[in-house]
Structure 1
Amino acid sequence: MSQDVVRGAPVGDVAGVGSRGARLRYVDNIRIVLTVMVVLHHAAVTYSHVPVWFYTERARDASGAVLDGLIVLDQAFFMGFFFLIAGYFTPPSYERKGPRAFVRDRWKRLGIPLLAFLLVLRPLVNSGSMGEVRERLAEQGVGMPYWLFYVVTWDPGPMWFVEVLLVFSLVYVVVRGWRSSAVGGGRRGARPLRGRAVVAFGAGLAVVTYGWRVGVPDGTYVPVLGLPSPNFLPQYASFFVVGVLARRRGWASSLSRRAGWTGAVVAGVAAALYAPVALLSPSRALEGRGTWQSLVTAGWESAFAVGVVVGVVVLFRERFDSQGRVGEFLGRHAFAVYLVHPVVLVGMGYALRGVSAVAVVKFGVLGVVGVPVCWGLAWLVRKLPGAGRVL
């Protein structure tokens, strides 16, 4: 990959590159922070009351509720933020390469890591579950070969993001094929983003999300695809589109400092107002199925996500638009971290299994030690022949 791009991004091969080829260091720094959040999110899941990870120890003390709250806050925005960044850098990649080369590149840079996880890493992180299943079946006099266990537990794990991003990228190619001036395809001048448009988008997203969750409530599982949060698809798709539009209209540079402060305040107020609903009826609030609690949840998630994105973009653009050698290293290996972090967290989870401590303490140990180990393993993986050209 050429030196004018930020490598290692799960958001396309031009993450961090502006419309004129200038490096957008602040975008790369946001992506680094989001990647750290992914690692910490799954570390929190490990010791929470949400057993949706390859290795979990269900919390047996009150601190588990803290981790549950952290998971809910993360889930409300961070993967949507990833999709927005991906959308932002999709048009210039398409325009530079053309449709055929763009599709080939997407298959290479997204498809190969997805296959690598499914065929190499997933058997490693799921091996402990296989032993537990075999023990339970053996008590009943039943055996299960590994190939059958692999098939019935098929799941792309955290690489579902890459899976969905690949689909979004192909849809973008189709749209651009219909009209040469389709969304994100033109080179029009900047068009400032107005506050009422942001409010209208947030309100519309809340309504669509509420309606979507009537039929796709929390906990819905999509066979084969293995999406862990299909109830968030309206956010993921709309944020990707917003990213495409933002690239075309120069929204990231047009956001004022006042907009950043407003976004931060909106996010904080939304979280504070939602807290009583989440505490009094958490299951109904998160479940969906058309309840009034689900409507409140969709509203706060949309307000919180939009507010955080606006606030963080302005903050990093103004204060964190530079990188030293450490920052460049972290950015270069971020996608590889996303790929390999399950191996690190699951391995460390088993290593800490015998340690007796409250849930939040074990989360802290796993996170503090796990994050640098993830980057170290990512560095080793990218040293493999050809890996640096893909990751």
Structure 2
Amino acid sequence: MIIIFGPITYFVDGIDMPFWTYMILFYIGQGDFEVGHLWFIALLLFFFVCYAIVRLIASTPIIKGKVITTPPGYISLVIFSIALIIANYIIRIWFPVGEWVKILPFMPVEVGRCPQYVGFFIVGVFAYRYNWLNTFSTKTGLVWLAIGILAGAMHYIDSLIGLFPLSLDFWTVLEGFIGVGLVTGSLVISREYWNKRGKLMTFMADNAFTVYLIHIFIIYLLQGIMEAISMGPFNKFMVVSIMGIILSFVLSHFIRKIPFAKKFL
């Protein structure tokens, strides 16, 4: 799929040189690879490798299905949120949001958001090991969901009318509470009210990973088609979104019919 991104980059960016010259001498020759939305998979793979190395060195046995420690409460979540806020403030002194660093040829990283990625990954490891997903307090989850929604609403209102001085980077503060609040609340809501699947949800769940891999190509195609159609931007957005979702799942269904594809997708 990384090779597929080469032609997309060539045509979308309007590269001013022959196609094969760009692909052979620059895209492949200089390792100037484009991974698109797959950067997140690359980063997760890097985290998994680091975790595996730590596990090999530590050799600590994993106890599955047993509650060894109580799940985090209000104070723990506040401390975690503040820790994320401080880490984000510090790292963004050198790496502002939007600045990407190519650590490896296939792994560009937005370093300014790394504290969140690393923090939530570590918490996820503990959540799995200590069975927090099944024992986390529903009340605590709903309260933090409200906190996340409130922080998100404050950011939206601030973007409209300017609640906070421009000199104050209050987004970093809100971001910490939005992340912890929405992640915590979503997990609890899903556990309590959406922890079952009918035929449609089973189909969507089975195809979710493949859809993640292929949807960008369908979106590019639909956007190209919609450019030639006279229609308002919001209407175009709705058409591309709805058609993109439907076509992505349909295509994924047939891709997974290919022999052995279902084992990987």
Class of the TM-score when normalised by the shorter of the 2 chains: 0.7 to 0.9
Q: Once the 2 structures are TM-superposed, how far is the Cα of residue 279 of structure 1 from its aligned partner?
A: 4.3
- Please name the residue that 2:25 is paired with: 148
- Please name the residue that 1:17 is paired with: none
What secondary structure is seen at the aligned counterpart in 1 of 2:56?
helix
Retained in 1: the 8 A contact 2:9–2:34?
A: no
Q: TM-score, normalised by structure 1?
A: 0.60
- Please name the residue that 2:5 is paired with: 122
- Please name the residue that 1:88 is paired with: none
How do residues 9-158 of structure 1 correspond to structure 2 at under 5 angstroms? Answer: 117-119=1-3, 121-123=4-6, 125-129=8-12, 132-134=14-16, 144-148=21-25, 150-151=27-28, 154-158=33-37
What secondary structure is seen at the aligned counterpart in 1 of 2:33?
coil
**Distance (whole Å) between structure 2 residues aligned to residue 348 and residue 210 of structure 1:** 39
Greater relative contact order: 1 or 2 (C-alpha under 8 angstroms, separation 6 or more)? Answer: 1
Q: Once the 2 structures are TM-superposed, how far is the Cα of residue 144 of structure 1 from its aligned partner?
A: 4.6
Q: Once the 2 structures are TM-superposed, how far is the Cα of residue 268 of structure 1 from its aligned partner?
A: 1.9
**Distance (whole Å) between structure 1 residues aligned to residue 226 and residue 109 of structure 2:** 25
Q: Once the 2 structures are TM-superposed, how far is the Cα of residue 382 of structure 1 from its aligned partner?
A: 1.6
**Distance (whole Å) between structure 2 residues aligned to residue 226 and residue 181 of structure 1:** 29
Residue number among 227, 237, 253 corresponding to 1:363 in the alignment: 237
**Distance (whole Å) between structure 2 residues aligned to residue 227 and residue 361 of structure 1:** 33
- Please name the residue that 2:200 is paired with: 326
Aligned length: 257
- Please name the residue that 2:138 is paired with: 257
- Confirm or deny that 1:244 pairs with 2:125: yes
**Distance (whole Å) between structure 1 residues aligned to residue 232 and residue 217 of structure 2:** 23
What secondary structure is seen at the aligned counterpart in 2 of 1:212?
helix
Distance 1:200 1:173, change over 3 A: same
- Confirm or deny that 1:384 pairs with 2:250: no
**Distance (whole Å) between structure 1 residues aligned to residue 5 and residue 260 of structure 2:** 21
How do residues 161-200 of structure 1 correspond to structure 2 at under 5 angstroms? Answer: 161-181=40-60, 185-187=62-64, 189-193=67-71, 194-200=73-79
**Distance (whole Å) between structure 2 residues aligned to residue 204 and residue 146 of structure 1:** 44
- Confirm or deny that 1:208 pairs with 2:73: no
- Please name the residue that 2:221 is paired with: 347
Q: Point out where structure 1 has 5 or more consecutive residues left out of the alignment.
A: 1-116, 286-290
Q: State the superposition RMSD in angstroms.
A: 2.5
What secondary structure is seen at the aligned counterpart in 2 of 1:360?
helix
What secondary structure is seen at the aligned counterpart in 1 of 2:101?
coil
Q: TM-score, normalised by structure 2?
A: 0.87
More deviation, 303-312/265-274: 265-274
Q: Once the 2 structures are TM-superposed, how far is the Cα of residue 155 of structure 1 from its aligned partner?
A: 1.4
Q: Once the 2 structures are TM-superposed, how far is the Cα of residue 127 of structure 1 from its aligned partner?
A: 4.9
